[in-house]
Chain A
Amino acid sequence: MIEGFDDFTIASTWERFISEIEGFCRLWFVDGHKNLLDKGAECLASRSNMYMIKCELKHGVKLYMMEYYFQIHGNDKAEQWDDDLHSLQLSFGVTEFLIIAPISASGVVLDAPESSKLLSAVAIALSNCGSNWPAFVPVHDPSRKAYIGIQNMGTTFTRRFDSDRIGSQVPVRLLHLEGLYELFVSKFALTSVDFSTNCFSVRSTMRLTYRTPYADDDDAESQDHINRESKGDAIEFNHIKKQWDDDCPWAEWYSSEDPIKGFELTAIWPKKMFEGSVEMAELENESPFDAEKWLLFPIISQNMIDDSIGKFGFASQLSHLVSALDISFEAKYLEDFVSAENSGSDISKISDCIPPPAVVDRILKEIFQNGVESWNSVDFEKRNSRFIKGAPLGSLFAEFCLHLLWLGNCNIRAIATLWIEFVREVRWCWEESQPLPKMSASSSIDLATCLVHQKLQMLAICIEKKNLLVHEPPSGVESEASSVNKVDLHDTFDQSQDMLSKTSLGTSSPPRLVVQHGAEESLACSQPHGTGYRDLLATDVKRKGSAGVVDSMMLLHSYQNMHSPIIQDAPPMTEDMHEERLRAAEAFGNLLSFSGQLERDILSSDMSAFKAANPDAVFEDFIRWHSPGDWESDEAEDKSIHDIVNSPKPNWPPKGRLSQRMAEHGSLWRQIWNTSPAIPSSEQRPLLDPIREGEKILHYLETLRPYQLLEQMICTSFRAAADILNQTKFGDFRLMKAKIDQLYCTLASTLKSLIANHVPDRVELIGDLKQLCVVFGHIEKLVILAASIHRKLFDAPRLSQAIFQDYFDFYLPKMGTGLASLCYDKVFNVKQVVKVHERDVIASLFPPPTASQSWRKVLSMGNLLFGHEPILREIIFSVYDNVSNGQYSGSNLLASMGDIETHRMYICGTSNDLRVALSVTSWD
């Protein structure tokens, strides 16, 4: 609408400057906020809803920067105490605004004429555009954060802004609400009046911020002081010395800095009318409990997001371990890393030191300390960790790995040294037949664990069996321990078959044996075996290795109770033994049937034991016991069984036969039966040769390749560390639980490629693992934070979850998968509303200050919370005037507004820092 004044020959630099400003303002004004975003307006990092676009201007030789701040989501009437407000918005009650400032070191306008000239230039430019944006110029010293500003409001009104700060001792008068009230009133009362008699109605709202006392705020001096105070009360003193995470699961390995440095509590008093300074003074006596609204903000350690401070915890140690893996590929034997004079190509470059023998000794003692083996109780162990191929937490190898993580930053030389000593110790246990600590000798080997753990499990079994061999008298009478053990195992086996019953023990009696004699002849199978029925005593003497009578099963030929034999355990096998068998099987893969020697040996052993326990048994008896499906009974045998037990005249013999497949094709079975001698399991050659297997295991441990050890250490360490973190109590934070589960999945799938036999690209592998450490570090930090929040706000679960969720959302973008840690310029600033019933919990975070604390502080501002004064007090005063009378009716704006805020003052401060911002609307 207004043509640009382009005649630069006659325009002064001043006019050209105004025109330049006007040009930009017009552009921004026309574009609208949405388009400005497209044109590169940037979001202010710390505010979610504040954007800024800027331009450079030149006036003479001076350069200026003009910035336009605006909000996208138009909440014009923002909440007065909105946390998202820019400081200028808060100070002056504006929404969008311009700032113009010189481009200089200080960034402020130092001399007064220049600043007012600058401001009027902007004001003229803005009124030319018909815009009513307020404009500000920073003035004075930068430390004063002072601004002057102006805003055109329609044609008749102008608002002027002014703010300043006192950075040193604040006059006592201004420390108190009464004085501040008078300061505000003095800005619009025409003459200096006696405040005690004249009352002015002023609206005021207040926001106070309190901070919980730092735990480590007390220096040594004050601790001494406390110590002296509470003499005799040692517990309290200990309490101070205790680390915050002493009872957290990771505390056994390291102590973490508390990620929560404290809390800030913000209490807000709503806008209220005050009639005089006395009322204001009374407000000072109110406690924060009288405030309308409470907000809580956790002060979270910079370590959470600042990676430059240094890594900590498991993640950093795991990362060292990965580095050790990288180096481990360079040598063939672990010994190479230990010997100092070795001049291997790259090894000599390693400057890492070998831990002194005393340290190694101490750590070995800790590892081999006979502790409670916790890993067998699978209560806490989630299914998740089973899929990570490592040793379970609490087992010997896991202990070895965890201890190593914290030994000299787990360099390869320290690992090699400790491993060699570790194996030496294991061998000692083997030679001396001492049970391995932290290893259970349960008969099955968990193939989901790493090979070293499987081998140690196997060795534990071998040591146990070896002891039995040594201590067992050759007569076959078992030592007490072993017989208990075997019967136990057998019991479980039998119970699963549901056959064993003690009630049938007395059924073997002579009268029935006579009946049985007749029965024998009618049986289809004609393999007379044994003569026990003639002489019961002889049978019982011959019987060996019985685990008890099988409920209601009678031998076909002799009509004696069938005895279930004590059988040998199936020999345990580690995964490499399985693989060996697989290869062997594959070699015979084309043969029609592969039934390995081992299975035959087991079957033969069972048959021998069965024969020994039932001297009169025939092949069919064995099948009835071992493979009931292959015995086809003509009648319902179960029924007749009951008859046997209940009545002395049983329906005997049961008519039946072997199944077709067993009868016609089971020659192999019968062949094995025929060649198996009757020997009780205790006298048989063991299926597992403990001496031979034990020596093989030690050979494996002693010749383990460095990278093989490191791979297994990595899997075990990740698994153990994850399991430790997973034990952390953090209440019901679902997000955290989900993240931990996700971590397990990631660990399992990444580490799988490590275990796979093909060694992939080493660089890529190490890269993947390093990244895994980064991922682990994120989860670790979050878990520690979750634990800290949970325990601090234990009694306010809703609040603790909400706060964690806020931080989690804030942190989430950081957890990108990139190896480079993201530079994070955002600041966490989300506060949570405290509900009324949670106030007591929050208040308990503010213990009454100790005598020394209150002695040191000058309590000056009032509104104490258990003796703590606010760290920050903010007040907004405002007065309104009805200006819509006839004389201003020309302005539509005002007519609709009715009351207009004529004076507004924002005061923010403490006893030695006070900022005041004033805005005055005037009509002249």
Chain B
Amino acid sequence: MDPSPSSQPEFDYLFKLLMIGDSGVGKSSLLLRFTSDSFEDLSPTIGVDFKVKMVTIGGKKLKLAIWDTAGQERFRTLTSSYYRGAQGIIMVYDVTRRDTFTNLSDVWAKEIDLYSTNQDCIKMLVGNKVDKEIERTVSKKEGIDFAREYGCLFLECSAKTRVNVEQCFEELVLKILETPSLLTEGSAGLKKNIFKQKPPPADASTSSCC
């Protein structure tokens, strides 16, 4: 991750990703699993945490700046500013706690509408803690239905057992790479002439992939 001495940028794109969801659903654990492939009990996040990871996905060198927010309501006003310029937003819930799922539509989805400054930003719904299959209270179908209705990607995963964690970030990034308007702002020094591009479709909702 050291800056390379050569003049060319060390990455092709810089993407800003944001993780939101109720307190205790495992946002920080997911992030820790993704960035350092480890799992441990973490203290509740104070306010906001932040990690950088360099990855190569779809043949592109990418720098991911991932913001991990606290789920506590007290920090929510603070969190709102982190939506700015995010190309991807990961909504996390705990499959064993139904309220964390319903809060996504009641609270978090509205926050995205309110604060996101990026028209085309990709949303992803993630159900965490599938290792606790016995305690599950939110079925996979419910997750799929919500994702379809809200037009986002969907995956179930477990930070504890590693299941689907890599895929979760990878799917999201691939989708961002497919979205031209997100690439222009994330690009490192590339200039595109918009008049040579097709205008973005008026209200093409991002397709869900389930």
CA distance in complex: A743, B178 (Å): 24
Contact among A586, A599, A749 with B46 in the assembled complex (CB-CB below 8 Å): A599
CA distance in complex: A536, B185 (Å): 60
Contact A661 B194 (CB under 8 A): no
Contact B194 A659 (CB under 8 A): no
Report B's interface with A, CB cutoff 8 A: 1, 22-24, 41-52, 65, 70-75, 77-78, 80-82, 84, 117, 119, 181, 184-185, 189, 191-195, 199-200, 202
Which residues of the other chain, B, contact A753 by a CB distance below 8 angstroms? 184, 191-192, 194
Q: 5 tightest CB-CB pairs across the interface, nearest first?
A: A599-B47, A665-B43, A447-B84, A760-B191, A629-B23
21 contacts between A and B (CB under 8 A): A445-B81, A567-B74, A570-B78, A589-B51, A600-B46, A603-B47, A629-B23, A630-B24, A661-B24, A661-B44, A662-B44, A669-B46, A749-B184, A750-B194, A750-B195, A753-B191, A756-B185, A761-B191, A764-B191, A764-B193, A771-B195
What does the 1/0 interface line of A553-586 toward B look like (CB < 8 Å)? 0000000000000010110010100100010011
Which residues of the other chain, A, contact B181 by a CB distance below 8 angstroms? 749
Contact among A386, A589, A627 with B50 in the assembled complex (CB-CB below 8 Å): A589
* CB-CB nearest in chain B for A389: B117
CA distance in complex: A659, B184 (Å): 44
Most buried by A among B1, B46, B71, B80: B46
CA distance in complex: A745, B200 (Å): 7
Which residues of the other chain, B, contact A669 by a CB distance below 8 angstroms? 43-44, 46
Contact A758 B189 (CB under 8 A): yes
How close is B204's CB to chain A, nearest CB, in angstroms?
11
Secondary structure at chain A's binding surface: helix, strand, loop or mixed? helix
Q: Is A497 positioned at the interface, with any CB of B under 8 Å from its CB?
A: yes
* CB-CB nearest in chain A for B79: A570
Contact among B1, B44, B51, B73 with A666 in the assembled complex (CB-CB below 8 Å): B44
Contact among B70, B71, B74, B194 with A749 in the assembled complex (CB-CB below 8 Å): B194
Contact A595 B47 (CB under 8 A): yes
Secondary structure at chain B's binding surface: helix, strand, loop or mixed? loop
Which residues of the other chain, B, contact A387 by a CB distance below 8 angstroms? 117, 119
Contact B74 A606 (CB under 8 A): yes
Which residues of the other chain, B, contact A483 by a CB distance below 8 angstroms? none
Contact B191 A575 (CB under 8 A): no
Contact A748 B119 (CB under 8 A): yes
CA distance in complex: A497, B119 (Å): 29
Contact A661 B81 (CB under 8 A): no
Contact B43 A596 (CB under 8 A): no
Which residues of the other chain, A, contact B82 by a CB distance below 8 angstroms? 578
Which residues of the other chain, A, contact B41 by a CB distance below 8 angstroms? 660-661, 664-665
Contact A573 B184 (CB under 8 A): no
What does the 1/0 interface line of A586-628 toward B look like (CB < 8 Å)? 1001100111101110110010000000000000000000110
Q: Is A667 positioned at the interface, with any CB of B under 8 Å from its CB?
A: yes
* CB-CB nearest in chain A for B78: A570
CA distance in complex: A602, B74 (Å): 10
Which residues of the other chain, B, contact A590 by a CB distance below 8 angstroms? 1
CA distance in complex: A600, B192 (Å): 41
In residues 435-473 of chain A, which contact B (Cβ within 8 Å)?
Answer: 443-445, 447-448
Which residues of the other chain, B, contact A771 by a CB distance below 8 angstroms? 195
Contact A594 B189 (CB under 8 A): no
CA distance in complex: A82, B46 (Å): 77
Q: Could you say which interface size class chain A belongs to?
A: 35 or more
Q: Is A496 positioned at the interface, with any CB of B under 8 Å from its CB?
A: yes
Which residues of the other chain, A, contact B185 by a CB distance below 8 angstroms? 752, 756
Q: Is A330 positioned at the interface, with any CB of B under 8 Å from its CB?
A: no
Contact B52 A768 (CB under 8 A): no
Q: Is A746 positioned at the interface, with any CB of B under 8 Å from its CB?
A: yes
Which residues of the other chain, A, contact B191 by a CB distance below 8 angstroms? 753, 758, 760-761, 764
Take A387-B117, A447-B81, A448-B117 as given contacts and tell me if A745 and B195 are in contact as well, using a CB distance cutoff of 8 Å: no
Which residues of the other chain, A, contact B70 by a CB distance below 8 angstroms? 599
CA distance in complex: A596, B47 (Å): 8
What does the 1/0 interface line of A220-239 toward B look like (CB < 8 Å)? 00000000000000000000
Contact B24 A602 (CB under 8 A): no
CA distance in complex: A230, B24 (Å): 79
* CB-CB nearest in chain B for A599: B47
Which residues of the other chain, A, contact B74 by a CB distance below 8 angstroms? 567, 606, 626-627
Q: Is A742 positioned at the interface, with any CB of B under 8 Å from its CB?
A: yes
Known: A443-B77, A599-B78, A603-B46. 18 other contacts (CB 8 A): A386-B117, A567-B74, A582-B50, A585-B50, A593-B42, A594-B51, A596-B47, A629-B22, A630-B24, A661-B44, A665-B43, A667-B43, A738-B202, A746-B194, A749-B181, A749-B200, A756-B185, A764-B193
Take A582-B65, A590-B1, A594-B50 as given contacts and tell me if A746 and B184 are in contact as well, using a CB distance cutoff of 8 Å: no
Contact A666 B43 (CB under 8 A): yes
Contact A768 B195 (CB under 8 A): yes
Which residues of the other chain, B, contact A606 by a CB distance below 8 angstroms? 74
How close is A695's CB to chain B, nearest CB, in angstroms?
22
* CB-CB nearest in chain A for B23: A629
Take A589-B52, A627-B23 as given contacts and tell me if A444 and B80 are in contact as well, using a CB distance cutoff of 8 Å: yes
* CB-CB nearest in chain B for A670: B43
Most buried by B among A585, A606, A741: A585
How close is B17's CB to chain A, nearest CB, in angstroms?
13
How close is A202's CB to chain B, nearest CB, in angstroms?
58
Q: Is A668 positioned at the interface, with any CB of B under 8 Å from its CB?
A: yes
How close is B12's CB to chain A, nearest CB, in angstroms?
14
Contact A627 B47 (CB under 8 A): no
How close is B36's CB to chain A, nearest CB, in angstroms?
8
